[in-house]
């Protein structure tokens, strides 16, 4: 079966499992999209990957051709060869997708068609009925999916939040945002329409990291009146003149910690940005290899998970476990979204990535700072230049780029306290 046929089969299986509509609201709004502002009714969704799709992955795992690699390099040049061989062996013999699928399906999920494209989301009701908090939108990044946000979502639902966890367009069960490469601003408009036009929220909170932090900032710029506040574990946009990786502070009178930060960011970028440059300039070349080889995609993706996690005290296995790692790998493979998940990197070339002179993120803002191996810790003074209404700022000693899984309880407490401070 071809990849496109796999994709059609996944969507057909989903359609067969949809029940009657829950959401009669089909309001039209100007999303800024060049597509028609059409919208279907949201319908319940259950994950069911066709047997043929799983068989294709399984067959490729059985016939993998292993490359020659350095046996003593560990994680220095990419994935550790011994570690990865054991993981693939587990994948072949022990990993049970159907069990994972059943577990994911315990979370209520939905599909809605916005501008001719299906958008997938999970919706978790607050414990004890609707609480006093505004609804909370949790946004994932790359290379991970909505499933990586569910442990955090469950804790926050227990704390009284209504939590919405979408798959960003081009990830998992959300269709690509368009037939051509689009950036995160384009995607942000569709996510905002999900929250306002489909779900009917007048205002909502966002938490995001990685791509999710960028989408949150675009919503704050384009429709700030829709937001009660943003909490993040990564700073996306910064003030004009201090663009990412430029080594510049953007001001004439920087504090010493701002100068040190700008220097450290350049050094980090020199070490860790090869993937970004490749995906920014040649995304479709690399995705031929990554889409065709399950093992190739797993190596490429999990290299980031290990490198970007705080492994000073715990190994990547101890933090996540093989089922978590392989489920995230599979959610790209079985939905044929390896390629479209990478498109937003090239999309950065079509949209500004940073604030214009004098422009600020004016909505209330909260930040949880972790010792992220990918990004140096950003000084508060630097952030205040673009975000004048900081309501919560916390610096933690442990956790990395994937803090929603590495430090779930800590991050949930920060989000809860941020929301409480807005009331």
Q: Is there a domain that residue 4 lies in?
A: no
The predicted model scores a pTM of 0.90
Q: What pLDDT is recorded for position 40?
A: 77
**What local confidence, expressed as pLDDT, does residue 72 receive?**
83
Q: Is residue 149 part of a domain?
A: yes
Phi and psi of 257, rounded to 5°?
A: -70, -25
Q: With contact defined as beta carbons under 8 Å apart, do 304 and 276 qualify?
A: no
Preceding amide of 143 cis, omega within 30: yes
User: pLDDT grade, residue 421 (50/70/90)?
Assistant: very high
Rounded mean pLDDT, 99-109: 99
pLDDT at 406: 99
Task: Classify residue 295: in a domain, yes or no.
Answer: yes
CA–CA distance, 40 with 112 (Å, rounded to integer): 6
Q: Read out DSSP for 338-387?
A: HHHHHHHHHHGGGS--SPPTT----S-EEEEE---SSSPPPPHHHHHTT-
pLDDT digits (tens, 9 = 90+) for 252-309: 999 999 999 999 999 998 888 999 999 999 999 999 999 999 999 999 999 999 999 9
Residue 345 placed within a domain: yes
pLDDT in the model for residue 394: 99
Average model confidence (pLDDT) across the chain: 91
Q: Check pLDDT > 70 for residue 4.
A: no
Share of the chain above pLDDT 90, in %: 85
Give the CATH number of the domain where residue 268 resides. 3.40.50.1820
Q: Which two tokens stand for residue 8?
A: 């059609």
Of 62, 53, 49, give the one whose Cα is nearest residue 1. 53
Q: Would 2 be classed as within a structural domain?
A: no
Residue 268 lies in a domain: yes
- Quote the DSSP letter at residue 196: I
DSSP 67: P
Average pLDDT of the segment spanning 334-340: 98
For the range 312-317, what are the long-range contacts, defined as Cβ-Cβ under 8 Å and sequence gap of 24 or more? 312/398, 313/398, 316/83, 317/83
Separation of alpha carbons 155 and 343, rounded Å? 31
The pLDDT, as a whole number, for residue 37 is: 66
Q: Rounded to whole angstroms, how far apart are CA atoms 68 and 410?
A: 41
Assigned domain for 255 exists: yes
Q: What is the pLDDT of residue 130?
A: 72
Residues written for the chain? 423
Please say if the pLDDT value at position 34 is more than 90: no
Cα separations (Å) of 362 from 36, 144, 414? 30, 29, 20
- Position 135 pLDDT exceeds 90: yes
- Kindly state the average pLDDT of the residues 149-176: 98
pLDDT value of residue 371: 97
Contacts of 397 (CB under 8 A, 6+ apart): 371
Buried b (16+ CB within 10 A) or exposed e, 27-48: eeeebebeeeeebbbbbebbbb
CA distance linking residue 238 with residue 353, whole number of Å: 9
> At residue 354, does pLDDT exceed 90?
no
% of the chain at pLDDT higher than 70: 91
How many independent structural domains does the chain possess? 1
pLDDT in tens, 235-267: 999 999 999 999 999 999 999 999 999 999 999
139 or 2: which leads in pLDDT: 139
Residues 120-144: what's their mean pLDDT?
93
pLDDT of residue 70: 86
The Cα 255–Cα 263 span in angstroms is 13
Question: For residue 182, is pLDDT > 80?
Answer: yes
Flag whether 13 is in a domain: no
d(CA 41, CA 114): 9
Across the range 146-163, mean pLDDT stands at 98
Is 67's pLDDT higher than 80?
Answer: yes
Q: Which residue has the tokens 């809860």?
A: 416
- Distance in angstroms (rounded) separating the CA atoms of residues 233 and 210: 8
- Domain range for 158: 23-41+53-422
């Amino acid at each position: 079966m071809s990849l496109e046929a796999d994709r059609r089969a996944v969507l057909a299986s989903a359609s067969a499992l949809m029940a009657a509509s829950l959401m009669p609201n089909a309001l039209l709004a100007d999303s800024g999209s060049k597509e028609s502002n059409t919208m279907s009714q949201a319908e319940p969704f259950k994950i069911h990957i066709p047997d043929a799709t799983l068989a294709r992955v399984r067959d490729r795992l059985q016939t993998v051709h292993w490359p020659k690699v350095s046996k003593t390099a560990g994680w220095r040049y990419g994935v550790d060869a011994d570690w990865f061989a054991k993981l693939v062996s587990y994948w072949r013999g022990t990993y049970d997708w159907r069990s994972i699928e059943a577990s994911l399906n315990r979370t209520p999920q939905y599909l809605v068609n916005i501008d001719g494209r299906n958008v997938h989301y999970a919706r978790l009701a607050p414990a004890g009925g609707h609480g006093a908090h505004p609804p909370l939108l949790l946004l994932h990044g790359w290379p991970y999916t909505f499933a990586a946000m569910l442990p955090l979502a469950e804790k926050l639902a227990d704390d009284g939040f209504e939590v919405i966890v979408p798959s960003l367009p081009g990830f998992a069960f959300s269709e690509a945002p368009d037939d051509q490469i689009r950036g995160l601003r384009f995607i942000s408009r569709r996510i905002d329409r999900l929250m306002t036009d489909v779900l009917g929220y007048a205002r909502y909170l966002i938490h995001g990291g990685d791509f999710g932090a960028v989408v949150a900032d675009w919503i704050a710029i384009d429709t700030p009146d829709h937001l009660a506040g943003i909490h993040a574990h990564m700073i996306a946009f910064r003030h004009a003149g201090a663009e990412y990786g430029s080594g510049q502070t953007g001001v004439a009178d920087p504090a010493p910690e701002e100068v040190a930060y700008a220097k450290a960011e350049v050094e980090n970028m020199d070490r860790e940005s090869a993937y970004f440059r490749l995906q920014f300039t040649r995304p479709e070349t690399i995705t031929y290899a990554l889409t065709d080889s399950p093992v190739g995609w797993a190596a490429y993706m999990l290299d980031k998970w290990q490198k970007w996690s705080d492994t000073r005290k715990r190994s990547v296995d101890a933090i996540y476990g093989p089922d978590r790692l392989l489920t995230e790998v599979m959610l790209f493979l079985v939905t044929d979204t390896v390629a479209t998940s990478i498109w937003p990197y090239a999309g950065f070339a079509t949209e500004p990535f940073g604030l214009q002179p004098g422009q600020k993120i004016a909505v209330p803002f909260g930040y949880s700072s972790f010792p992220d191996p990918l990004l140096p810790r950003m000084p508060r003074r630097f952030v205040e230049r673009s975000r004048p209404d900081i309501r919560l700022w916390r610096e933690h000693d442990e956790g990395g780029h994937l803090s929603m899984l590495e430090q779930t309880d800590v991050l949930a407490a920060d989000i809860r306290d941020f929301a409480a401070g807005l009331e």
